[in-house]
């Protein structure tokens, strides 16, 4: 299909495609393969936030699309590596946050001061990390769920 479809050729060549072109491509693919949907692609590739074009780029071998669990785990591991002085409660909190994010696919600031995070400390993240660390963690979670 890549050989005959100008939109796929543009994607393959690394060119940007407009929202209208992406919609046209989605319609064309749906006409040929109605069972393949964005919802199905997100479930199969374990990536709830990826756009249709990112999936196409991945399928064409242009972009590697890690699964959401892999992305979250690597990001949390990198955060831990960059902060070698974290204590056991902080590490436990970060592992819990990783599991929460992977399970739910989303996390908000208010979640971090509620159960299950209050099991580690009654104040949640506020009782485990300093304000500057909290800001770093919030930036990390924002980038993961964007």
User: 11 and 18 in contact (C-beta within 8 Å)?
Assistant: no
Among candidate residues 21, 36, 59, the one where a domain is terminated? 59
Highest mean pLDDT among 1-5, 50-54, 94-98 belongs to 94-98
Note the pLDDT of residue 30: 85
- Of 59, 79, 97, the residue at which a domain comes to its end is 59
Domain identity same for 74 and 141? yes
Number of structural domains (the chain) is 2
**135 and 74 within one domain:** yes
Same domain, 32 and 76: no
29 or 114: whose pLDDT is higher? 114
On the question of pLDDT at 129 being above 90, the answer is yes
Residue 29's domain comprises 6-59
* Whole-number average pLDDT of the chain: 92
Question: Does residue 41 share a domain with residue 96?
Answer: no
Contacts of 63 (CB under 8 A, 6+ apart): 54, 57
Token pair listed for 133 = 């660390």
Model confidence pLDDT, tens digit, residues 62-116 = 999 888 899 999 999 999 999 999 999 999 999 999 999 999 989 999 999 999 9
Q: Both 52 and 72 in a single domain? A: no
Please indicate, yes or no, whether residues 18 and 37 belong to a single structural domain of this protein.
Answer: yes
**What does the CA dihedral 100, 104, 107, 111 come to, rounded to 10 degrees?**
-60
Predicted confidence at residue 98, as pLDDT, reads 98
Interacting residues of 127 by C-beta distance below 8 A, sequence separation 6+: 120, 121
Chain-centroid distance of CA 141 in Å reads 10
- Do 100 and 124 lie in one domain? The reply is yes
Average pLDDT over residues 117-128: 97
Place of tokens 């590739």: 45
Residues 48 and 99 in one domain: no
């Amino acid at each position: 299909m890549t050989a005959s479809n100008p939109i796929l050729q543009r994607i393959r060549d690394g060119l940007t495609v407009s929202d209208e072109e992406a919609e046209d491509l989605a319609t064309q693919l749906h006409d040929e393969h109605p069972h393949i949907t964005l919802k199905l692609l997100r479930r199969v590739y374990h990536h709830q936030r990826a756009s249709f074009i990112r999936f196409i780029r991945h399928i064409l071998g242009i972009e590697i699309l890690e699964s959401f669990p892999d992305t979250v785990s690597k990001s949390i591991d990198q955060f831990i590596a960059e902060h070698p002085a974290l204590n056991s409660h902080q590490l436990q909190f970060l592992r819990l946050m990783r599991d929460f994010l992977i399970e739910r696919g989303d996390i908000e600031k208010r979640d971090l001061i509620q159960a299950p995070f209050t099991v580690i400390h009654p104040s949640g993240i506020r009782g485990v990390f300093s304000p500057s660390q909290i800001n770093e963690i919030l930036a990390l979670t924002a980038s993961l769920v964007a």
